[in-house]
């Protein structure tokens, strides 16, 4: 049975991805900064490991403990919405450290064993914000757009070794808690000068008809892991699918 390692499984998409693969009989290595065994059902197919994707030492320890990994899912992320001019650069660096460099570091740590076996899959989660410009999300979008380009190039590079690399692009999911992890308040990122502009934007984000569910993302990750047709982009959720079709017209492939 294959083994999947998922980052950021303490809540939201990562937690549901872990549940989905565990219920399907996979060996699951669920990683989180502060391990909590109560979040997932007890199983001899489950291991919960501590992992901070911004720490090289933490990554090395987790990879060494996990053993052979067939699939890596880079889900760990933090977000920011607000006026760019009001967003501290120190916070933006934290966003890039996790969303961009954390993903790259995990890939770099796992590639050698996959290359030696000439098999494996890597799935990087980005966002529907990469599919069309979205207001009040400049810094977050930049951190995810970097991974879009990185993943596309890496897919070609690692295809030589029979390693499949995929993008899953979730839509807006206000039920996720990724923006609560770095100690910054939304109201601090919306100066009074932006108040009239921001109100309808956030009202649109709150539309329940366009909310991406955790189960949608987990099912899409499953599809990406099992794809052998060369597809790169996998939108997840109604809004992401609509944006994807508007941009591409159909699911693009590597070739």
Q: What is the mean pLDDT of residues 188-208?
A: 84
Residue 165 class from Cβ within 10 Å (0-12 exposed, 13-18 middle, 19+ buried)?
buried
pLDDT of 179 above 80: no
> Does residue 253 form part of some domain?
no
Provide the mean pLDDT of the chain.
91
> Does residue 187 form part of some domain?
yes
The confidence score (pLDDT) of residue 175 equals 47
14, 8 contact by CB (below 8 A): yes
* CATH number of the domain that residue 49 is part of: 3.40.50.720
pLDDT of 254 above 70: no
20, 219 contact by CB (below 8 A): yes
Annotated catalytic residue within 140, 172, 194, 197 = 140
The confidence score (pLDDT) of residue 210 equals 66
Catalytic site residue 172?
no
109, 60 contact by CB (below 8 A): yes
> Does residue 255 form part of some domain?
no
Q: Which residue has the tokens 């954390």?
A: 102
| Domain limits for position 134 | 3-248
> Does residue 154 form part of some domain?
yes
> Does residue 135 form part of some domain?
yes
Residue 37 class from Cβ within 10 Å (0-12 exposed, 13-18 middle, 19+ buried)?
exposed
**Count: domains in the chain:** 1
CA–CA separation, 241 vs 66, rounded Å? 34
The confidence score (pLDDT) of residue 113 equals 98
Among 28-32, 134-138, 174-178, 227-231, the range of highest mean pLDDT? 28-32
pLDDT of 247 above 80: yes
For residues 139 and 202, the model is more confident at 139
CA–CA separation, 238 vs 150, rounded Å? 25
Quick one: DSSP state of residue 253? B
pLDDT of 252 above 70: no
Task: Please write the tens of the pLDDT for every residue from 18-44.
Answer: 999 999 999 999 999 999 999 999 999
Task: Please write the tens of the pLDDT for every residue from 157-173.
Answer: 999 999 999 999 999 87
Band (pLDDT 50/70/90 cuts) for residue 110 is very high
């Amino acid at each position: 049975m294959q083994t999947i390692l998922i980052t950021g499984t303490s809540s939201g998409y990562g937690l549901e991805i872990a549940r989905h693969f565990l219920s399907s009989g996979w060996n699951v290595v669920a990683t989180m900064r502060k391990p909590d065994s109560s979040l997932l059902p007890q199983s001899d197919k489950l291991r919960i490991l501590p992992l901070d994707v911004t720490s090289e030492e933490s990554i090395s320890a987790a990879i060494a403990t996990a053993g052979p990994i067939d699939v890596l899912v880079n889900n760990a992320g933090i977000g920011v919405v607000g006026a760019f001019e009001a967003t501290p650069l120190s916070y933006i660096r934290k966003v890039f450290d996790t969303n961009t460099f954390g993903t790259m570091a995990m890939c770099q740590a796992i590639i050698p064993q996959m290359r030696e076996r000439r098999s494996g899959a890597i799935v990087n989660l980005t966002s529907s914000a990469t599919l069309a410009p979205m207001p009040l999300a400049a810094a977050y979008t930049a951190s995810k757009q970097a991974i879009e380009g990185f993943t596309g190039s890496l897919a070609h590079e690692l295809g030589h070794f029979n390693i499949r690399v995929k993008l899953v692009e979730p839509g807006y999911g206000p039920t996720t808690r990724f923006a609560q992890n770095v100690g910054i308040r939304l109201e601090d990122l919306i100066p009074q000068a932006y108040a009239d502009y921001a109100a309808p934007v956030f009202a649109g984000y709150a539309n329940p008809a366009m909310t991406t569910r955790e189960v949608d993302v987990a099912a899409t990750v499953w599809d990406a892991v099992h794809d052998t047709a060369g597809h790169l982009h996998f939108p997840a959720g109604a809004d992401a699918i609509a944006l994807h079709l508007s941009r591409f017209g159909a699911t693009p492939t590597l070739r």
